[in-house]
Amino acid sequence: MTITPSTPADSPAERYFAGRLPDRPLRLGCRRSHLARAYAHRVVDALHRVAPGLMIELVEITTSGDRYKGDLSKIGGKGQFMKEIDRALTLGEVDMAMHAMKDVPGDVPLPEGLVFAAYLEREDVRDCVIWREGSKYAGIDDLPPGAAIGTSAVRRKAQILRHRPDLQVERFRGNVVPRIAKLDESDYLEGIVLSRGGVVGVGMDHRIGQVFTMEEMCPAVGAGVVGVQCRRADEGMVELLQLIDHAETRIHITAERTMLHGLQGHCNSPIAGHCRTTEDGQLSLQGMVFTREGAHFAYAQEWDARDRAFELGAYVAGVLNRKGARDIIAGIPH
């Protein structure tokens, strides 16, 4: 699908990039789902704000993670949401690609020659509960012992069970809209836990029940952030995407993903982490590593200057490892 801008291609940005970009619509690769399309349109909108006349074509790609309906850890983890898109970008079938940063693994290096040239401004990072249609419950604490909740994330499972070890937390995967439809057909699950930003992104916010506080549910590393990749050698594309890069989000992502790399977690590791800027201008990074049932965890929160995101991430990873994070991760099968 090609998105035709309403503004003629005669802005200063179009004139500047003439000859630096392909003389055709720019191809943006994304997953084939409601939420991925919503995220892709955020990228397009951001590009049209700086270069209103750009012609952009959405190239939807079905990934291994989308095709496989079982446990992702059995086929290599969340990286399966990226493999085919990265290949299309490397081979020149698309010019840029977008990814939800929470799905970018920390233990797998990016393909050689690719770079995240832009991060869009971070959206809501909180998780929420979608109740089965007609449910009488308003919050997790209202559920009776033995009630079943669905989620696709080991991080969410660990934190739910940390507070309510008497609940049944079941693996429940799928794209947001069909997952909610499947919940409504269930006679077993009372609700599912999803990203609030993702639910809002596909227009299903009317189904949101309980919204977890940050203290109740620490988000995934990269939560709420859309990253845009391109080939490092495509200098014009790199320069264009840098115009939509959100500097504060890049700082936060740098701290979080440095921590993730330092923990050497795998796809089954319940790792949570969130960086923010405090009122006095410092960076605050919180990190948590859980056992799969949430009974044991390592926790750290540290602060540093805004220009020391990498150092802060590495330091928090070191603190967590000294508190037993590496032993927790090593003890989880993958």
- 86, 95, 103, 234: the active-site residue: 103
pLDDT of 64 > 80? The answer is no
Per 3-state DSSP, the chain is made up of helix, strand and coil in percentages (nearest 5) of 40, 25, 40
Average pLDDT over all residues of the chain: 89
Model's pTM, two decimal places? 0.89
- The yes-or-no answer on residue 103 being catalytic is yes
C-alpha to C-alpha distances, 242 to 158, 235, 252, 256, nearest whole angstrom: 37, 11, 16, 20
Q: What digits encode the pLDDT tens for the residues 206-265?
A: 999 999 999 999 999 999 999 999 999 999 999 999 999 999 999 999 999 999 999 988
CA–CA distance, 248 with 314 (Å, rounded to integer): 18
Q: What digits encode the pLDDT tens for the residues 307-316?
A: 999 999 999 9
Mean pLDDT of 95-109: 89
Q: Are 240 and 96 in contact (CB under 8 A)?
A: no
